Amino acid sequence: MLGRLLHGRPHPGAPGAIGHARAYEVFSGLGFAGRRRRLYGQLVALSGVRPGEHVLDVGCGTGYLARMMAETVAPDGTVLGVDPSGPMIRYARDHTRLGGCTFSEGFAEDLDAPDGTFDVVVTSLAVHHIPEAKRAQAIKEMFRVLRPGGRVLIADYRPPSGRLARRLIGPLSGPVMRHNPVHLLEPLAREAGFGGLNSGDLRPFLHFVRGVKPAADERGRGVAGEAAG
Ligand SMILES: C[S@@+](CC[C@H](N)C(=O)[O-])C[C@H]1O[C@@H](n2cnc3c(N)ncnc32)[C@H](O)[C@@H]1O
């Protein structure tokens, strides 16, 4: 119900693209019950991002996390937010007044950036919007565009553990959020090549995975690299 409302007209290349940016913002505010800023502040902290770094936000939507990351990397760092939805990107641009924070239309599974471009890649609540068959490729792309030693933070909805909450969330948001397989994120990150993996929950809403792209001479030897953060 909610999903159908937010998606709007289908996107030709991205079935999970959200078309109604303003409605998404309203529902995010309500859905996080006033805790969105605090929660996203925790994501910024978990990413370990530092002033001067170059950050990519994959599936950036309206740019909420990208803007918070931009406050942290200022004045010399940059943040690029990427999302296939034109309306989301327009909303993000219209609501961003921070130098060094830009937005561009694009797909997680085919990122338009050279290898080793970014210090940090973040993605929040977007992996379950990527078609299942393309998720592994999307995480490989995050790995590719990070520099050796760069860090990834993947955060997604944690399905509610209570039976009642699960029953309610199904009709409201569709089956994806009821069964979102967040336990597969860490294996996907490992398969992409990330080391130093650790994962956890920001209860009640989010599950996260952090990892590091090993230095070139550490790959192949299976050395994980230092833990993120
Ligand atoms: C629930 S929103 C999350 C937006 C934002 N990251 C946040 O935390 O508010 C999911 C986003 O993923 C985007 N999306 C859908 N398919 C995608 C794909 N293939 N690659 C990247 N992003 C995608 C949607 O358009 C939408 O903006």
CATH C-level class of 2-218: alpha beta
Q: Please state the rounded mean pLDDT for residues 161-181.
A: 62
- pLDDT category of residue 179 using cuts at 50, 70 and 90: low
pLDDT tens, residue by residue, 10-23:
787 899 999 999 99
**How far away, in angstroms, is 129 Cα from ligand 1 center?**
6
**How far away, in angstroms, is 123 Cα from ligand 1 center?**
8
**How far away, in angstroms, is 59 Cα from ligand 1 center?**
4
pLDDT tens, residue by residue, 21-62:
999 999 898 888 889 999 999 999 999 999 999 999 999 999
- pLDDT category of residue 201 using cuts at 50, 70 and 90: very high
**How far away, in angstroms, is 22 Cα from ligand 1 center?**
14
* Ligand 1 residue neighbourhood (C-beta within 6 Å): 14, 16-18, 28, 58-61, 64-65, 83-85, 88, 107-109, 124-126, 129-130
- pLDDT category of residue 178 using cuts at 50, 70 and 90: low
**How far away, in angstroms, is 180 Cα from ligand 1 center?**
15
- 229 pLDDT above the threshold of 50: no
Q: Which of 4, 5, 11, 18 to mutate to test the pocket of ligand 1 (most atoms within 8 A of CB)?
A: 18
d(CA 93, CA 140): 27
105: β partners: 83
- 174 pLDDT above the threshold of 70: no
pLDDT tens, residue by residue, 111-168:
999 999 999 999 999 999 999 999 999 999 999 999 999 999 999 999 877 666 656 6
